[in-house]
A and B are shown apart, each in its own frame.
Chain A
């Protein structure tokens, strides 16, 4: 018995010491004021000889984080741990926050581009050659220099038949891929078959492109069949090439993954000692030492975690429906709710399939009066009140009003007109339009008949997900209105993946989809039918495949696609914006092609009172402009005394 006791107490001791190791190191010997150029934990490692001094870790000309936003307080101390959650094992919301290290960056207000890993870039005269000048001395998180070979290696992979990366859409002009040249370590040249003015935007857009083209060749070589005969395929290569999952893969992110536990249920990150961005005072960022993020797929548990004050700062993952709860819990939870802009132009948009499978319905849909009648049949005020508690604005379906295409007064005027186009709820007007079309015959139930004598019946696809119950509510309201127009409308919830299959293959008649887009140059498909999506799946297919599949555009769609082709060839940015406005004009005059409900919801974020330098206002919307990463969240700091 005595022995058991002994063993037990020893075990206890062992466990306790194990616990102690987990505590934060004592760092009081190292300065941590505004004079400190690096974090104390790194300074300690430097004195221990484990790390080169900070001057050698930073590039010659480091990127200086922008502070010109409302809510920026002051440069902060180093240290602390940022607790947050993610909603999916691929850390999408985290990559939007701190997984953005592109050659060229979007500005935080999305008004244009600014330098990233590239200090500068220029096109030749006709736009067929882009030269990028990389920052000298940028290093991967393991200290290896970042050079132009990274992009070249990526492009090599794209062209490698064995590897599954296809060449990106934007590198082709008239079907011909670009050529990449690296005259030296810090110069990157892309040559195209013709003018390709939009490439800088593509390089800046979305976290997914930069995470693909920033590939650490020196590390990934080990798994490349050409460099390592152990491998015959790219399976292990791809497994290693997941920056959000593989702690060993060097990264350019402000924080590098140190622990990715069991499918991402708990992820720990630590500051990247070689991060290339500094604050105004030239101190290396990020300020915060560690990040702990855990997977919380259950929305209600997320709510409680926030109310309990367990979250330091969280962008995305909160529902507007819980706003009142969050506001009431501010004091107890020690946090503040901020409302950014979602910039959504329709939540959701009601899509009318231009190429609806049923010929008689298609003929009706192609008639502007019919689409206008449908627009008049939607009670947008009711959509807003019921589904969104009156917190949004009823309006026609548009892209984002904050988009840079509409920045000046003229642009805003046009946008206001677009918002109001056919956006009234007016059953009489709708009925008059339908009567005017000659759809006056009705069956015994009062439903209008098609020219061929059958009842007009439209199936509306409604997403089934619980999270989107707003869409179910709005479906009911739309149905109610259209029935008053004498149009039989049935709600249909396609099983799981069939919803998106029906969308992309163009099998639906009416469907729904949230609408927001800040940049129509790279993501044009809400306005221009360039991809098999939204209201134009088959025409989009035609454009995407270069006319091989799908259906050729006619009438206004043809003109829209011509405008988009003109954008791609246009060197002058102002003129490119003008083409977008011309396209919007077509939507106003010859539309609507898709219908609005309510729009412009606030996007919630939660910031603990001890968490600083988070912008008061901003855009948390479409993925393309990668917010909040563009606000340099690596400048956030934690007041550890109040935590």
Chain B
């Protein structure tokens, strides 16, 4: 098992390197650089960019006159030592900006993941055991609706109507009172109170598709001879399904765990932008649009790292459940 994990871990390194190169190139594809954009922003927002002085000097200081490959090596060289460079826009070291956001991203993503599995598995079982029943059709339909709604629309509508009808302001992760306050139980409660909208909005899509998969798997398993044997032995249906079939049907969901991470992270990015949550999504979008290269690059790398780790964990879990994989 140890060697398997090690081998998988080592394999991830070239992947991450390739990702870093691609992200760095992608970030710098657009014309101009951060300072050009900053001038433009100031002019669009305030009609004047005089507050930004010494553009050429700044450009030199940020190393924006260096060729692309050199900038990459400077950044990557720092990156592996934990120095991610400085964000142009925030005028701060990147590492000061990201950890909180990554933590909140993880909270929302893991929350959504848990929500997804907790909601999807029972619904999938129910749907499969009531195949072609009206309730199965209803759930199927519902899951398709869940898969079809654009997340940003759901998020904004929920937020607006929650505010308009119930008068609850639900944007952000904390209410004004707790924002910036030290951690306390009250703050934790406040966080949970704010967390459900993003968690549900992000999770709803995954729940729907996972439920479909669970239903399909279980139906497959239920059709297999050993289930029939169990039934023939006179075991009660609930035991046949609960004890034998579900166990086997759940196995493939573990590998899906790794695959559903990207969509959960993306979903949380979009929802965070709409709801103004302090996660990675909003600053990533801004930094990409502003060509804040070191910040954007680091965030892309971190997200990819999360995905690679997630996949790794899923693989390990799978190998643990199904030992054959280890020797493949």
Query: Which A residues are closer than 8 A to B by beta carbons?
Result: 12, 15-16, 18-19, 22, 83, 87-90, 92, 164-166, 206-208, 212, 235, 239, 242, 245, 259, 261-266, 268, 292, 294, 296-298, 300-301, 304-305, 307-308, 310, 332, 344, 463, 465, 467-468, 495-501, 504, 513-516, 523, 622-624
Contact = CB atoms under 8 A, between A and B. Distances in A.
B276 A301 contact: yes
B53 A166 contact: yes
B328 interface: no
Contacts, number: 153
A94 to B, nearest CB: 13
B237 interface: no
A500 B171 contact: no
B186 A263 contact: no
16 contacts: A19-B184, A22-B181, A92-B51, A164-B57, A235-B61, A261-B180, A262-B92, A298-B282, A304-B159, A495-B30, A495-B31, A496-B37, A497-B39, A499-B40, A523-B50, A624-B50
Interface of B: 30-33, 36-37, 39-48, 50-51, 53-54, 57-58, 61, 87, 89-92, 96-97, 100, 156, 159-160, 163, 167, 169, 171-172, 176, 179-186, 273-276, 278, 282, 286, 289, 291
B51 A623 contact: yes
A550 to B, nearest CB: 17
A83 B176 contact: yes
B54 A15 contact: no
Given A89-B89, A500-B40, A265 B278 contact: yes
A15 B183 contact: yes
A496 B163 contact: no
Given A301-B276, A497-B40, A623-B48, A262 B100 contact: yes
A523 B53 CA distance: 15
Nearest to A621: B47
A138 to B, nearest CB: 24
A348 B10 CA distance: 56
Nearest to B160: A304
A500 B36 CA distance: 7
A497 to B, nearest CB: 3
Contacts of A239: 91
Contacts of A245: 91-92
Nearest to A465: B44
Given A305-B171, A624-B48, A501 B32 contact: yes
Contact of B180 (A266, A514, A515): A266
Given A294-B179, A500-B39, A305 B169 contact: yes
The 4 closest A-B pairs by CB, nearest first: A497-B32, A497-B36, A263-B90, A301-B276
Contacts of A500: 32, 36-37, 39-40, 43
Nearest to A301: B276
Contact of A164 (B37, B54, B167, B180): B54
B171 A166 contact: no
A18 B53 CA distance: 43
Nearest to B94: A263
A262 B96 contact: yes
Given A18-B182, A262-B96, A263-B90, 13 more contacts: A15-B185, A22-B182, A89-B91, A90-B91, A166-B57, A239-B91, A297-B286, A308-B163, A496-B40, A498-B32, A501-B31, A513-B43, A624-B50
B169 A304 contact: yes
B63 to A, nearest CB: 12
Given A298-B273, A523-B50, A498 B183 contact: no
Contact of B182 (A15, A496, A622): A15
A266 B179 contact: yes
B166 to A, nearest CB: 12
Contacts of B185: 12, 15-16
B31 A496 contact: yes
A263 B37 contact: no
A467 B48 contact: no
A88 B90 CA distance: 9
A497 B100 contact: no
A622 B47 contact: yes
Contacts of A501: 31-32, 36
A354 B320 CA distance: 73
B21 to A, nearest CB: 22
Contacts of B37: 496-497, 500
Contacts of A300: 156, 274
B186 A19 contact: yes
B119 to A, nearest CB: 28
Contacts of B51: 92, 206-208, 623
